[in-house]
């Protein structure tokens, strides 16, 4: 059972089995039901799955908490960090709904490809191995394989941080940079992600797996990626305000870049690519400024480039 804030969306899903605003051209499973009444959806749920953008996650969860039964697991699909508090979503779950097992489902999971029936894999992470095994059985299907990983910190950080580097990869596309340049950005982005993730308590192996490298590659390369699209439009010369205004879905990397730069300073981690993304998204720099020296036709070499690779 799904909850939708808008009654007209619930009606569309129940009657036509579609969600044309977000998933145009796709049919949803006919058994999927949607209800605009949060109490009706949550009060009988054995598992609660939160697919809410990070900046609305806490307020939505506070509403959910009023109707949930005790000890029901709460699984986050959100790949972002809360502004101000810098908290991961499972940390917010533990604050708002203490006593409920908190978990995250993450990985290279582009919605349209999953709806089209293409094979995909995800990582289910929670600290309780028994809960993890039970949840794995709920989500696992023949063409959607679910693996478990106890490294909740690493899985959540990888999912949030990769969106920032997807914006950088998109800027390369918009500027017309070659595949070599884009591969360099993705690879060094993974290095930055891993350094900060380990400093914050994540495990190195997590960042080289599905939750880290796998998700990073899909988000940086896919035409379906919202964060890659943001970067591409910035590379084409549009302002961040124009790009956001043109979208009807949230690109988490824009706001996450602010949190990442703050965390990098706090933990003493050099993150030059993330810093450039932050400058373009929040300080008025352009994609051309960020890539100066790395794109054909611009002066300078790697040693004089804005994106300094380490």
Q: How far is C-alpha 206 from the chain's CA centre?
A: 16
> One of 27, 79, 112, 162 is an active-site residue; which one?
162
Q: For this structure, is 162 an active site residue?
A: yes
Query: 219 near 166, Cβ under 8 Å?
Result: yes
Report which of 139, 144, 145 is spatially closest to residue 115, judged by C-alpha positions. 144
Which residues form the catalytic set? 162
């Amino acid at each position: 059972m799904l909850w939708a804030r808008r009654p007209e969306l619930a009606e569309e899903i129940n009657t036509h089995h579609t969600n044309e605003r977000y998933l145009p051209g796709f049919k949803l499973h006919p058994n999927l039901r949607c209800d605009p009444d949060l109490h009706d959806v949550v009060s009988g749920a054995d598992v609660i799955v939160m697919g809410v953008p990070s900046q609305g996650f806490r307020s939505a969860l506070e509403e959910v908490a009023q109707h949930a039964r005790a000890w029901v697991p709460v699984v986050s699909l959100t790949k972002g960090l809360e502004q101000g508090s810098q908290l991961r979503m499972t940390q917010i779950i533990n604050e708002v709904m203490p006593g409920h097992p908190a978990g995250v489902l993450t990985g290279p999971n582009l919605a349209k490809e999953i709806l089209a029936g293409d094979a995909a894999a995800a990582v289910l992470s929670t600290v309780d191995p028994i809960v993890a095994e039970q949840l794995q059985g709920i989500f696992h299907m023949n063409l959607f394989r679910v693996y478990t990983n106890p490294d909740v910190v690493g899985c959540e950080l990888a999912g949030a941080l990769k969106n920032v580097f997807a914006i950088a990869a998109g800027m390369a596309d918009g500027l017309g940079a070659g595949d070599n340049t884009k591969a360099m950005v993705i690879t060094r982005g993974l290095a930055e992600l891993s350094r900060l993730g380990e400093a914050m308590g994540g495990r190195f192996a997590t960042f080289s797996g599905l939750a880290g490298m796998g998700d990073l590659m899909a988000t940086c390369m896919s035409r379906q990626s919202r964060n890659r699209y943001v970067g591409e439009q910035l590379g084409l010369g549009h302002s961040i305000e124009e790009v956001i205004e043109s979208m009807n879905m949230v690109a988490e990397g824009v706001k996450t870049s602010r949190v990442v730069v703050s965390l990098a300073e706090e933990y003493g981690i050099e993150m030059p690519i993330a810093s450039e993304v932050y400058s373009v998204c929040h300080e008025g720099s352009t994609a051309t400024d960020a890539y100066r020296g790395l794109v054909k036709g611009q002066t300078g070499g790697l040693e004089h480039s804005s994106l300094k690779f380490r």
